[in-house]
Amino acid sequence: MLQIKRSHSDDYGLLADIWLNVSLKAHDFIDSAYWTSNKMVMQEMYLPQSETYVGWDQGQIIGFISMVEKHLAALFIDEAHQCKGYGRQFMEYVKKDRETITLRVYVKNEAAYRFYLKQGFVIAQEQMDEGTNEREYEMVWKRKAEKIEFI
């Protein structure tokens, strides 16, 4: 069973390793040098500046999710733990306290953007990522208003 808790600086090295390994595989259409050159930036800048939650199962870290206000900055599940529902559980965790969530995902990362569609996100626009010169979707999730019945 997944346990989610706020990350600590002691976690950042392992989280950056997960980020790098998953990024290299999921984004094989981008030169690997881009990812390896950004690993320390992820570890020392992005993770400390975001609201990051770590997922634990049976005593080991299986992945993490990072939010910057209402923007989903990162959702990475260690390759050995993918396709087990952890991504959905992370999404449920961050949705419970937000009305809207935005994110960006590469168009070529079909598995990821299809996952987000299943989580209720819609494609708002397509744009170019300046760092990689790859097309990406900006996606948005909005909490549905609860239906109020009047008697």
The answer as to whether 107 is a domain residue is yes
Can you read off the two tokens belonging to residue 23? Answer: 């990024």
Name the residue among 21, 28, 29, 18 with its Cα closest to residue 55: 18
Pairing of strands 3-6, 51-57: antiparallel
Q: Is 55 helix (H, G, I), strand (E, B) or coil?
A: strand
Q: What is the pLDDT of residue 86?
A: 93
The answer as to whether 151 is a domain residue is no
Q: What is the pLDDT of residue 88?
A: 95
Where does the pLDDT of residue 2 fall: very low under 50, low under 70, confident under 90, or very high at 90 and above?
confident
The answer as to whether 74 is a domain residue is yes
| Residue 149 pLDDT greater than 80, yes or no | no
Rounded distance, CA 79 to CA 75, Å?
12
The answer as to whether 16 is a domain residue is yes
Rounded distance, CA 36 to CA 58, Å?
29
Q: Residue 112 sits in a domain of what CATH number?
A: 3.40.630.30
| Residue 18 pLDDT greater than 90, yes or no | yes
Q: What is the pLDDT of residue 108?
A: 97
The answer as to whether 150 is a domain residue is no
Identity at 24, one-letter amino acid code: L
| Residue 151 pLDDT greater than 70, yes or no | no
Domain count of the fold of the chain: 1
The answer as to whether 49 is a domain residue is yes
The answer as to whether 50 is a domain residue is yes
Where does the pLDDT of residue 147 fall: very low under 50, low under 70, confident under 90, or very high at 90 and above?
low
| Residue 1 pLDDT greater than 90, yes or no | no
Question: Which range of residues forms the domain containing residue 127?
Answer: 3-142
The answer as to whether 48 is a domain residue is yes
